[in-house]
Amino acid sequence: MSIVVTGATGQLGRLVIDELLAKIPADLVAAVVRSAEKAADLASRGVELRIADYNDPRTLKGAFHAGDKVLLISSSEVGVRVPQHTAVVEAAKEAGAALLAYTGILGGPATTMLLAREHNATEQVIRDSGLPYTLLRNGWYNENYTANLGAVLAHGAVVGSAGDGRVASASRGDFAAAAAAVLTGDGHENTVYELSGDTTWSLTEYAAEVARQSGKDIAYTELPVEKYREVLANAGFPATIAEALSDADTGIARGELAATPGDLSRLIGRPTTPIADSVAAALKG
């Protein structure tokens, strides 16, 4: 039996691997990756590499073994995620996996954002499979914002369409720690966790925090959603991503990413990482 992480070379996947290696021997950890070369550093740490591609179901047939606990990290390819995820679920079921955990979106079916549609469809595929499951409904990462800090500092503005909506975010590392806790623990079968930060903040407050820490004049500029979508497209985001991200801001305005049930801090056994800490880390480079 292994703990198997799909999408293991992605930003979240690598952090989950780090958390697992801090808890269990490396020979109990397997990484599903498309490229052995890209995952060479994981192999050098003793992690087993299983080469497979979400887009090629045939390659997934050898990716899972009987008794494995599988973490299905959501694909980043918006628009084709349901067939990709379905291929993973079917392969895990055929192999006789003991548990399938999935990184969905905070709120699940109650969330009306465009980004929720594929997550909710995937959750239904998992339920219908009959596999024991854990649904890790992740809220927003702090890094969704701090990764763009250079542009914010250059332009002196945080832009969006979220109004006074609040975000209960946490660091990507917090979510990785929660996934590792589930995969290495017991009693998480057929359970749903709503994962979010302990506290909430608005984009106006975020801009003020960046200004405080950077010493620069930074303010939040509210844009009509159509204009914000245009800004994202001009910044290089594909049209489907620009639409999804701008729509997500309207979801924030409706309060869909503000829930603070405390599941994340309970799973990781500590408070979640405040946005101010992630701003400080990003400013340090």
For residue range 83-133, list pLDDT tens digits in order. 999 999 999 999 999 999 999 999 999 999 999 999 999 999 999 999 999
Alpha-carbon distance of 61 to 58, in angstroms, equals 6
- 3-class secondary-structure state, position 160: strand
pLDDT confidence of residue 79:
86
Does the domain at residues 3-139+171-195 carry the CATH identifier 3.40.50.720?
yes
pLDDT value at residue 253: 98
How confident is the prediction for the chain on average, in pLDDT?
A: 97
Tallying the residues shown for the chain, one arrives at 285
Query: pLDDT digit string (tens) for 227-243?
Result: 999 999 998 999 999 99
Return d(Cα 9, Cα 11) in angstroms, integer: 7
The fraction of the chain above a pLDDT of 70, given in percent, is 100
pLDDT digits (tens, 9 = 90+) for 265-279: 999 999 999 999 999
Whether residue 134 is predicted with pLDDT greater than 90 in this model: the reply is yes
As a whole number, mean pLDDT of residues 29-41 equals 96
Average pLDDT over residues 46-50: 98
* pTM (predicted TM-score): 0.96
SS3 234: helix
Q: What is the pLDDT of residue 89?
A: 98
Q: How far is the C-alpha of 23 from the C-alpha of 21, rounded, in Å?
A: 5
For residue 224, count CB atoms less than 10 angstroms from its CB and return exposed for 0-12, middle for 13-18, buried for 19 or more: exposed
Q: Do the Cβ atoms of 185 and 134 come closer than 8 Å?
A: no
Q: What is the mean pLDDT of residues 155-174?
A: 97
pLDDT value at position 213?
98
**8 vs 161: CA distance, rounded Å:** 32
Q: How far apart are CA 202 and CA 4, in angstroms?
A: 36
Q: Any alpha helices (H) in 96-171, and if so which ranges?
A: 114-129, 143-146, 149-155
Domain range summary for the chain, segments of one domain joined by +: 3-139+171-195
Strand partners, 105: 138
- Phi, psi of 181, rounded to the nearest 5 degrees: -65, -40
Q: What is the pLDDT of residue 1?
A: 84
User: Is there a contact between 134 and 188 (Cβ–Cβ < 8 Å)?
Assistant: yes
Q: Is the pLDDT of residue 285 over 90?
A: no
Span between the terminal Cα atoms of the chain, in Å: 39
Mean pLDDT in residue range 17-24: 98
Confidence at residue 15, expressed as pLDDT on a 0 to 100 scale: 98
Model confidence at 260, in pLDDT bands (50, 70, 90)?
A: very high
Cα 203 to Cα 178: distance, rounded to the nearest angstrom = 26
Mean of pLDDT values over 199-219: 98
Measuring CA to CA, how many Å separate 120 from each of 74, 91, 155, 156, 170?
A: 12, 20, 36, 37, 22
